[in-house]
Each structure stands twice: as C-alpha cells, then as structure tokens.
Amino acid sequence: MSLRGAMSISKPQTRISGFPPVVGSQPRVLILGSMPGIASLDVQEYYALPRNVFWPIMGELFGAHFKLAYQQRLDVLTACRVALWDVLETCIRPGSLDASIDTQSVSANNFGWLFTSYPTIRQVFFNGKKSAAMYHRYVQPMLDSDTADIPGNTLPSKSPAYASLSFDEKLAAWTIVRDAANRG
C-alpha cells in the first residue's frame, strides 16, 4: 500500500446531521428519506439536487413545483397534510449515497416524540428501500405499540442513483401518497 493510500484510510470521517421535520398542524402522511445528500446539506433544503425528482413529483401530486421558492414548496406540502423527515438524525457517510452510510455511526430521529406530538399521522412512506430498512432496524423497535403499528409503504427512490424506473413510473407509484393525504 502506498503512503497516499494509508493517508486516505486514516482520514477522519465527519459526522453529518439531518434537518428538523417539516410538519404542518395535522399531517396525515409522513415521507421519510434516510439522510440528506451533500447538495441538500450544503443549501439546507430537502431534496436540493436538481436531478432528484422529488420536487417534480410533489409538483405533479400536490402543486409543490420546483419553480416555487423552497419555503413555498414546504408550505404547499404541509397544507396538503404531508410531512417530511429523515430516519437518521446523524451518521457518518462519505458522499451522498445511502450505501455509504456507516451503520455503526447512526443515530435515529425521535419518532416517539413525532408520533405523540402529531397523532394525525396515519401512514409512513419511505423514499426508497434504504430508508425503510433503517426505519425497521433503528426506529420501529423503539416505538410503543400504538405508534409501531402505523402502516408504512416503500416507494421507489426519487434519487438520480435509482434510474431503473422512468419519471412516469415513479410518479405512478407515488400517487398513493396523494391518495393517503386526501383520505379523511
């Protein structure tokens, strides 16, 4: 191994922290990612990477189009009773890929508090398989029986790293979020 390779191995990893939840007064659905990517962390906005199709899909489903200012998009979602958060509060992850998350470093967000504070949340939607797996591993065992039973659906990731589905296929899969938010 070269000296250069040895130096990269010993380079300290930086712990990253996610964002607070985006929650209106009476959310019905909660969309969960894993941890914001580098582009999102840099600008402190959920799903900031332009190639991520989260906002185009939210635009089609709820009117939270990417052309709106970030706070306006959040306001549209919360008015439609949609909440956003991530499974993880902190972790070590070089880069933006979920596969790079150091699972020994994770700290989950406080979902007991969220579900107690917002008992109107009736359904959780996972933005990809990794957020679902982390929720089931790190969060669900810590929940009480009332909140552990909130149904969850794993949907196709809207990340550009998940390119096996077209935009229209992802949009079709994500329409169940709108249906759940509108259910009274």
> Which structure tokens are listed for 178?
């709108």
Phi, psi (degrees; rounded to nearest 5) at 107? -135, 120
How far apart (Å, rounded) are the C-alpha atoms in residues 68 and 49? Answer: 15
Q: Which of 52, 109, 127, 182 is catalytic?
A: 52
Chain centroid offset of residue 10 CA: 30
Q: CB under 8 Å to 38, separation ≥6 — which residues?
A: 95, 96
CA–CA gap between residue 21 and residue 118 (Å, rounded): 11
Sign of CA dihedral 30, 35, 37, 43: positive
> Does the active-site annotation cover 52?
yes
**Helix locations, 34-161, DSSP H:** 38-43, 54-62, 70-79, 111-117, 129-134, 145-148
In eight-state DSSP terms, residue 34 is S
Residues marked active site are found at: 52
